[in-house]
């Protein structure tokens, strides 16, 4: 039988310091990613970038004060014009049925590219725990979308 008067240890929770909001900066994003064991680099535009499951992702700070975090991914395949309609259907279905990530097509020189984005305005700061959740959301939902695309937009047998 449980004795209700017996003192129970306090539940263990996150470190309170991880819950205090601090200004967003690229060093914090990089620290989180490398702390998770991910390999990232800085591209020619100064954005953090890396590859997950063959798909390129960028971690950009946008806005006048660099207060908006955007996790943007590009699917590794570029589609020929004949596959654009199938991709558009997949994108519309995804955006209608899910909140994250926002997905879209972009016509590029060599065909149609598919992108996934999660953007959050962090003007008032972000705690370490929130930053971890936001980056994980951007990466996780982007990878999920790109993985689903393989079945929704199969390879063109004609090449």
Pairing of the two strands 68-74 and 111-121: antiparallel
> Does residue 2 register a pLDDT over 50?
no
Q: Measuring CA to CA, which residue among 19, 46, 26 is closest to residue 135?
A: 26
Q: What are the chain's domains?
A: 47-148 (3.30.1460.10)
HEC per residue, 35-68: HCCCCCEECCCCCEEEEECCEEEEEEEECCCCCE
First to last CA, the chain: 70
Residue listed under structure tokens 């900066």: 25
Give me the mean pLDDT over the 17-36 stretch.
93
Q: How far apart are CA 78 and CA 141, in angstroms?
A: 20
Which pLDDT tens digit goes with each residue over 144-156? 999 999 887 767 6
Q: What is the arithmetic mean of pLDDT over 61-83? A: 96
Q: What is the mean pLDDT of residues 82-98?
A: 94
Distance CA 116, CA 134 (A): 14
pTM comes to 0.85
Instruction: Spell out the alpha helix ranges (H) of the chain.
Output: 26-35, 84-97, 128-152
Is the pLDDT score of 87 beyond 50? yes
Q: Give pLDDT, residue 9.
A: 58
Higher-confidence residue: 13 or 25? 25
pLDDT value of position 19:
80
Q: Is residue 22's pLDDT more than 70? A: yes
DSSP 113-129: EEEEEEEEE-TT-B-HH
69 has pLDDT over 50 = yes
Per-residue model confidence as pLDDT tens digits over 95-112: 999 999 999 999 999 999
């Amino acid at each position: 039988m449980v004795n209700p008067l017996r003192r129970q240890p306090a539940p263990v929770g996150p470190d309170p310091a991880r819950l205090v909001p601090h200004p967003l900066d690229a060093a914090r994003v990089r620290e989180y990613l490398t702390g998770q064991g991910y390999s990232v680099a800085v591209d020619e535009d100064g954005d953090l970038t890396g590859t997950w499951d063959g798909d390129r992702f960028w971690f950009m700070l946008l806005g006048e004060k660099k207060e908006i975090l955007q996790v943007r991914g590009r699917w590794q395949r570029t589609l020929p014009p004949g596959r654009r309609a199938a991709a558009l259907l997949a994108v519309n279905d995804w955006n209608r049925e899910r909140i994250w990530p926002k997905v879209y097509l972009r016509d590029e020189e060599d065909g149609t590219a598919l992108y996934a984005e999660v953007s959050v305005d962090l003007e008032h700061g972000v705690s370490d725990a929130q930053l971890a959740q936001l980056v994980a959301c951007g990466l996780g939902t982007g990878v999920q979308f790109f993985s689903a695309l393989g079945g929704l937009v199969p390879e063109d047998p004609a090449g």
